[in-house]
Chain A
Amino acid sequence: MAPRSLAPPPISITPVIHTPDDGSDYDLDGGDDDNIQVDLDYALYDHKHLLTPDRDSFYDPNRLSPVAPTFQINDYSSPSNMTSNSGGLNENASPIDIPSSSNGAPNPFNFQTQVISTSPVKPNVGQRRGHKYKHSSISAQHQIFQEPPPRPPLALPRDLPIPTVKEAWKSMSKDQRRRLYWCICHGVIAISVFLSAHGSLAMTALSHLVLFDVGSALICVAVEVLGNFEVWKRSSIRHPFGLERAEVLAGFALSIFLIFGGFDLVSHNLKHVLEGKGGHSSHHPDPHEGLAPRVPPGDVDMASLAAIIATLVSAYGLRNHARISKVMRVSYLASLPSVLSNPFHFLTLSTSALMVLLPLLFVPISVLLDSTICALVAMAMFALGLRLAIAQGLMLLMSYGGRSGSGSGSPGKNKDVGVADVMREIEAEPGVERVDEAQFWQVHYGLCMANLKLSVAKGADDAALSRLRARVTSLIQNRLGEGYGKGGSLRWEVSLQLGTAGTY
């Protein structure tokens, strides 16, 4: 029974031949399913059976147990596997704990079978039970099994799996799903605006804007859905800040879309102008030239109206563009009411409102007006995209811009404190000799890092250092973080490396 590879001396003796009759006896004693275990256990501490020359004698074709063949095959694997698998299901229920005086006992199996039958048998069917050997007398004698050396527990952060689309879909709550459906609706509206343009440049421009809104709304939903997963927020080795930075990156990609849209509109516009001027228009019938205008005067432009509604719903329902606009405040729009103060909503709403109003007011949309609107929108898109790209690019470059310079402006408010001011304040802290290194940077919309190396006065004890740490941490959070009243929360993770002067 002992693994052959180890070849303990007794195996070669072979005094007893195991007969099928023996096996059937045990069967009668044991339960239907447990008999194999009984066999084994018996063999383990009964040397007579250990000495059986070949294991096939154990395998009795007459036995009724369905478990037998698989078990036998599985069980004779290498000893290294056994050690690795020690600590299986049945360890506590193992009958081996019974002293090996069982040699004298006439029939120890009744008792053992009972013990075994209390433990769940079914789940074990496919599993190896090699760990039993570890406790058997023979392995104890020969030191076959060695305990693994004690290791310090690995406190590594777990590697969290990135959810697949399917998992994300499953994890969505009802509310989130509704939002996704709305996004799809918004997308359909964007496409319908695009298709209803019929060569009108202004409408094409509007469709670009709406498409950008859709992209941003989709990001909003995606961020919420991914927030269901641990990998989004939890730090691991692979993703030190979770995946939240992905939102910034997606925003950056969208701003590239905005710039691209601006370029695209400009080039289309130029082409149109050139075509009109070059006198080639005879070759190229322009749909919007002369004949029927896209929307008859006095009528409501349904596509533009739908764009307005979609934008408003997204703005209120999804809080579209909320986080992005916090990064870039446009001062000259700040005085407008809530939705309009967001430059993206402002742009979409004003363009689509213009498109609705012009036919209503019986203003004919001439080629010139059309391309002027398009040019204006293109320029606005370009400028906005550039600002957005810069704001998010700075974050991706691992920097912290602070807010609008240092010290100037309204004194007494937290708002205008820059990094330099905070550094000065930290240096003014009692116990701090100087700031050796300081790195302030923004990870994503909600998190900033501050890594400082400070020189402190000699002789400070643990408690003092701990207090200093708490003070500096709260100072940074208070000065640079946003107050609770302002809606968003910008959290600062502060790490201080303290050392007495001159030890670096």
Chain B
Amino acid sequence: MTEKDSRRIFYFMGVNFTFMGVQAVYGYLTDSLGLLSDSIHMFFDCVALAVGLFASVMSKWPPSERFPYGFGKIETLSGFANGVFLILISLEIMFEGFERLLEGRETKRLRELFIVSTLGLVVNLLGIFAFGSHGHSHGHSHDHGHSHSHGHSHSHKDHDHDCSSHHDHNHSHGHGHAHSHGHDNENMHGIYLHILADTLGSASVIISTVLTYLIPWSGWDPLASFLIAYLILITAIPLVKSSAQRLLLTIPADTEYNLRNTLSEITNQRGVASYSVPKFWVDDGVSSEAGNRILGVIHVAAIRGADLEEVRDRVQSYLGKHGIDLTIQMEREGDTTCWD
């Protein structure tokens, strides 16, 4: 799946890069400023794509001593970076548009601009179609990240649990399996948004050029770019938000609910006196199997007379049933050497 993604990014990057080269050479030969500056823009797009490609490939790398949890988060990171970048760009475009609106600088060389932006639109539309099927399912990337983990944690549980959780399980199953790869989409979403922004940018230039041609007013171009920048902004903000939450290791709301239930049952396990400092985080593992497993740490105090290892095994298998893999530090009840 992700390999397919990275191949797609790679192909599109190739197309982009070639187009950039053609633009630059032709622009240099014909001394056309519009073409040259557009090729600079293309170059930045290529860089963004390269980062996305890198992240997509890197997310496959196995965990190591340096990276004990693998590179599952890198795609989220790349998505976050792309989102922040887009927000900054849209703010800049807005600012420039405002400036131009005030100065009333007139747009020149309409024909050249028109041709360049049409070509850009074609290339970007190609990208939209390449990523389009992906991008659409990614509109709700935040949601299925949740629902999947939800379904996952319940799928082991529904044998021995009450009907409310069973209901939840059924409910989430419908979502959960349609988009099983909850963890790799922030990167693709970011790239998709980037290409979308470019496409809209070219479209806006085309429309504003036509409008300026028909009704000569210098305000068309700033107005169009303002509008586009706003669109980019509102699409990038949800991406930044959702990826930020994952990077902050925030537990999604419904997973949290299950976790609370699971946790409160721990003290009912035989031999457990209490527990302290429970910390959980969602693992965006390497293999899709391990995706959305919950990892964490807990310190469990055993009652006097219980075998520590036995209690630990019991707690571990109990948690394992709920899809939680913890490092369990065993302590004796009343032992005060434990920190916190």
Give residues in A with beta carbon < 8 Å to B: 152, 154-157, 235, 237-241, 243, 245-246, 249, 252-253, 256-257, 260, 263-264, 267, 270-271, 274-275, 278, 280, 283, 389, 393, 396-401, 419-420, 423, 437-441, 449, 451-453, 462, 465-466, 469-470, 473, 493, 495-500, 503
* Cβ of A246 to closest chain B Cβ, rounded Å: 6
Q: List 5 A-B contacts (CB under 8 A).
A: A155-B276, A156-B263, A240-B251, A267-B40, A398-B69
Bound CA span A500–B244, Å: 40
**In the complex, given contacts A240-B279, A423-B65, A497-B329, what are 16 additional A-B residue pairs having Cβ atoms less than 8 angstroms apart?**
A155-B276, A240-B280, A241-B279, A243-B248, A245-B249, A252-B77, A256-B84, A270-B37, A274-B36, A274-B37, A278-B31, A398-B281, A437-B327, A466-B332, A495-B299, A499-B312
- Taking a contact as CB atoms closer than 8 A, the residue among A245, A256, A452 that contacts B81 in the complex is A256
| Known A-B contacts A156-B260, A503-B309; A249 and B68 likewise in contact (beta carbons under 8 Å) | no
- Taking a contact as CB atoms closer than 8 A, the residue among A154, A155, A260, A499 that contacts B309 in the complex is A499
* Cβ of B249 to closest chain A Cβ, rounded Å: 6
- Taking a contact as CB atoms closer than 8 A, the residue among B73, B260, B312 that contacts A497 in the complex is B312
Contact B68 A237 (CB under 8 A): no
Bound CA span A77–B332, Å: 48
Choose among A235, A238, A498 the residue with the greatest number of B CB atoms under 10 Å from its CB: A238
* Cβ of A247 to closest chain B Cβ, rounded Å: 10
Contact B339 A493 (CB under 8 A): yes
Contact B250 A497 (CB under 8 A): no
- Taking a contact as CB atoms closer than 8 A, the residue among B37, B65, B85, B337 that contacts A271 in the complex is B37
Closest chain B residue to A465, Cβ basis: B308
Contact A497 B332 (CB under 8 A): no
The reply to whether the CB of B92 lies closer than 8 angstroms to some CB of chain A is yes
The reply to whether the CB of B242 lies closer than 8 angstroms to some CB of chain A is no
* Cβ of B29 to closest chain A Cβ, rounded Å: 12
* Cβ of A192 to closest chain B Cβ, rounded Å: 16
Which residues of A are found within 8 Å of B281, using beta-carbon distances? 240, 398
- Taking a contact as CB atoms closer than 8 A, the residue among B40, B275, B339 that contacts A155 in the complex is B275
Contact B251 A263 (CB under 8 A): no
Which residues of A are found within 8 Å of B278, using beta-carbon distances? 157, 237
Contact A246 B248 (CB under 8 A): yes
Bound CA span A493–B259, Å: 22
Closest chain A residue to B32, Cβ basis: A278
Which residues of A are found within 8 Å of B211, using beta-carbon distances? none
Chain B interface residue bracket vs A = 35 or more
* Cβ of A298 to closest chain B Cβ, rounded Å: 31
Which residues of B are found within 8 Å of A243, using beta-carbon distances? 248
Contact A393 B248 (CB under 8 A): no
The reply to whether the CB of B136 lies closer than 8 angstroms to some CB of chain A is no
The reply to whether the CB of B290 lies closer than 8 angstroms to some CB of chain A is no
* Cβ of B33 to closest chain A Cβ, rounded Å: 6
The reply to whether the CB of B268 lies closer than 8 angstroms to some CB of chain A is yes
Which residues of A are found within 8 Å of B267, using beta-carbon distances? 152, 155
Closest chain A residue to B298, Cβ basis: A495
Choose among A423, A469, A470 the residue with the greatest number of B CB atoms under 10 Å from its CB: A469
| Known A-B contacts A245-B247, A451-B297; A496 and B309 likewise in contact (beta carbons under 8 Å) | no
Bound CA span A391–B218, Å: 45
Bound CA span A154–B263, Å: 9
> Which 5 pairs between the two chains have the least Cβ-Cβ distance?
A439-B68, A451-B327, A240-B279, A399-B67, A256-B84
* Cβ of B45 to closest chain A Cβ, rounded Å: 11
Contact A260 B248 (CB under 8 A): no
Which residues of A are found within 8 Å of B312, using beta-carbon distances? 497, 499
Contact A263 B44 (CB under 8 A): yes
- Taking a contact as CB atoms closer than 8 A, the residue among B73, B84, B256, B274 that contacts A396 in the complex is B73
Bound CA span A246–B77, Å: 13
The reply to whether the CB of B238 lies closer than 8 angstroms to some CB of chain A is no
* Cβ of A218 to closest chain B Cβ, rounded Å: 15
Bound CA span A401–B68, Å: 11
Contact A396 B77 (CB under 8 A): yes
Contact A237 B251 (CB under 8 A): yes
Which residues of B are found within 8 Å of A470, using beta-carbon distances? 337
Which residues of B are found within 8 Å of A441, using beta-carbon distances? 68-69
Which residues of A are found within 8 Å of B192, using beta-carbon distances? none
The reply to whether the CB of B264 lies closer than 8 angstroms to some CB of chain A is yes
Contact A462 B332 (CB under 8 A): yes
Which residues of B are found within 8 Å of A449, using beta-carbon distances? 297
* Cβ of A180 to closest chain B Cβ, rounded Å: 22
Contact B249 A389 (CB under 8 A): no
* Cβ of B163 to closest chain A Cβ, rounded Å: 19
Bound CA span A487–B281, Å: 30
Bound CA span A157–B279, Å: 10
Bound CA span A462–B332, Å: 8
* Cβ of A400 to closest chain B Cβ, rounded Å: 7
Closest chain A residue to B268, Cβ basis: A152
Which residues of A are found within 8 Å of B74, using beta-carbon distances? 393, 397
Bound CA span A399–B297, Å: 16
* Cβ of A84 to closest chain B Cβ, rounded Å: 19
Which residues of B are found within 8 Å of A267, using beta-carbon distances? 37, 40-41, 44
Bound CA span A156–B265, Å: 11
Contact A253 B84 (CB under 8 A): yes
Which residues of A are found within 8 Å of B161, using beta-carbon distances? none
The reply to whether the CB of B3 lies closer than 8 angstroms to some CB of chain A is no
Bound CA span A493–B251, Å: 20
Bound CA span A274–B108, Å: 16
The reply to whether the CB of B130 lies closer than 8 angstroms to some CB of chain A is no
What string of 1s and 0s marks CB contacts (under 8 Å) between B288-332 and chain A? 000000001101000000001100110000000000000111111
The reply to whether the CB of B66 lies closer than 8 angstroms to some CB of chain A is yes
